[in-house]
Structure formats: C-alpha cells, structure tokens
Amino acid sequence: MSKLTAAREAEISARLLKHWHEAVPNDRMAHLVKDTARSFLRSLQARLSMHDVSLGHWSFLRILWERDGLTQRELSQEAGVMEPTTLIALRAMEAQGYITRKHMAGNRKNLYVFLTPAGRALKKKLVPLAEEVNGLAMRGLDESAVAGVRRSLLVMLDNLAQDGMLSDAQTDNGAL
C-alpha cells in the first residue's frame, strides 16, 4: 500500500472512530453495521491487493470456490450485483487467468464460468487473509461476546428478510 493510500486509510479510520466514540455514539444501528462492514472490506482489500486481486473479484472467487460452473447470470445473482458489473469483472478475471467462460454442449445461450487451476489456487492464499481480518476485528472479544454479536446480527438479518416492503417493492417492479 502506498504512503498516500495508507495516510488516506488512517484518516478514514480516525474519522469513523471519532464519529462513533465521540460525535454520535448512538447513531442508527444500520450506520454502525455499514461502517463496520466497510472497515472489514478496506482491511481485506489492503491484503488482497498484495496478490493483485481486487475486492470486486473476491466475491466472485468465493462463490466459484463453492460452486464452480455457474452461468454469468447465476453468478450475478449470487454476488448481488448487476450483470454488466459481473461481465466487466469476469473479463478482467479471465485476462488474469483465474477463470474461463464456456458454452456448454446443447446450450449456446448461456456462458458458464469455471475456475482455472490458478483461480482455484488463490483460495489457499486469500482465505487466510480474510481469516486474518476477522481475527483482527474480533481481537479483545471473548467467545461469548462473538457468539452474541453473531446471534444479534442473524436476528437482524432474519427480521429484515421478512420485511413486507421488500416483496411489495419487487412485485410492484415486476421482479416476482
């Protein structure tokens, strides 16, 4: 990481800490979760960049390590991004030699995405980096505190998954 980038990251971290510890420590939970997630991602990106892997590619790699051979559309849906975004990322990952895209016999419409040996090998290098970030974030928390945070976040996730406004909005937009 360059000195300029490191200084910028330190500035962002200092601003976030001041916001949450001093300015408005009781700001909305959604903001705290978002800022925490962004901090996780910034720390992970700093580590991934040492291996010339972008944060945007990380999501696709994680999915493919679990389910290789998805269509581009399935990969977009799994990653929660628009198909043009997926296409751009896949072209870059293909150029780096991490994936190949192929038509399957009898189906000229869909392109399927497969990891190359190089893409598969990244798992052994990159997963420990994500585990390192998680360990760093959990430092100073005992097992019961971590379990409590996990339970709380899962309850929030469950509650939000049942938000009636989401299904209403999807129906209104013709998504269902």
Instruction: Let me know if residue 167 belongs to a domain.
Output: no
pLDDT per residue as tens digits for the range 81-108: 999 999 999 999 999 999 999 988 877 7
Neighbours of 31 (CB within 10 A): 12
Instruction: Let me know if residue 173 belongs to a domain.
Output: no
Instruction: Let me know if residue 175 belongs to a domain.
Output: no
Can you give the residue range of the structural domain that contains 126?
A: 3-160
Mean pLDDT of the chain: 86
Q: Where are the beta strands (DSSP E) in 19-118?
A: 70-71, 99-104, 107-115
The 3 state secondary structure assigned to 92-141 is HHHHCCCEEEEEECCEEEEEEEEECHHHHHHHHHHHHHHHHHHHHHHCCC
Pairing, β 70-71 against β 107-115: antiparallel
Mean pLDDT of 125-139: 96
pLDDT band at 110 (very low <50, low <70, confident <90, very high): confident
- Strand arrangement of the beta sheet that strand 70-71 belongs to: 70-71, 107-115, 99-104
Instruction: Let me know if residue 174 belongs to a domain.
Output: no
Instruction: Let me know if residue 169 belongs to a domain.
Output: no
Instruction: Let me know if residue 15 belongs to a domain.
Output: yes
CATH number of the domain residue 127 falls in: 1.10.10.10
AA identity, residue 40:
F
Q: How many separate domains does the chain show? A: 1
Neighbours of 42 (CB within 10 A): 15
